[in-house]
Amino acid sequence: EPEVTQTPSHQVTQMGQEVILRCVPISNHLYFYWYRQILGQKVEFLVSFYNNEISEKSEIFDDQFSVERPDGSNFTLKIRSTKLEDSAMYFCASSGKGITSTDTQYFGPGTRLTVL
């Protein structure tokens, strides 16, 4: 069964550094998402991406964040200048058509980002 994959599984970085988290969604899916979960807190939506553009983003997703689908298979989340509070588990997800209802989102295993 196809799965969403994410790399790396754990990323440690210094405050102020740029990080890129990578995801390979399920190949025939059209919608892509990033969520994050700070330790002990709920899973929070960051951004959704469809047809090569952001379709929705949360208040968390400020100018420090960007997403890209550079080559038709990867889906990346970039944080330009990391802060301590960016430390979290970041989940990528993908889903199919979802035109009239919310299609099932399939989640990756997550990347644990630690900002020192």
Partner 1 sequence: AQRVTQPEKLLSVFKGAPVELKCNYSYSGSPELFWYVQYSRQRLQLLLRHISRESIKGFTADLNKGETSFHLKKPFAQEEDSAMYYCALSSRGFQKLVFGTGTRLLVSP
Chain positions contacting partner 1, by CB under 8 A: 3-4, 31, 33, 35, 41-45, 48, 50, 55-56, 58, 91, 95, 98-110
Between 52 and 101, whose beta carbon lies closer to partner 1?
101
How many residues are given for the chain?
116
Q: How far is the CB of 62 from partner 1 (least distance, A)?
A: 17
Between 45 and 64, whose beta carbon lies closer to partner 1?
45
Q: Convert 93-106 to b/e letters by CB count within 10 Å (16 or more is b).
A: bbbeeeeeeeeebb
Between 13 and 103, whose beta carbon lies closer to partner 1?
103
Residue 32 CB burial class (10 angstroms; 0-12, 13-18, ≥19): buried
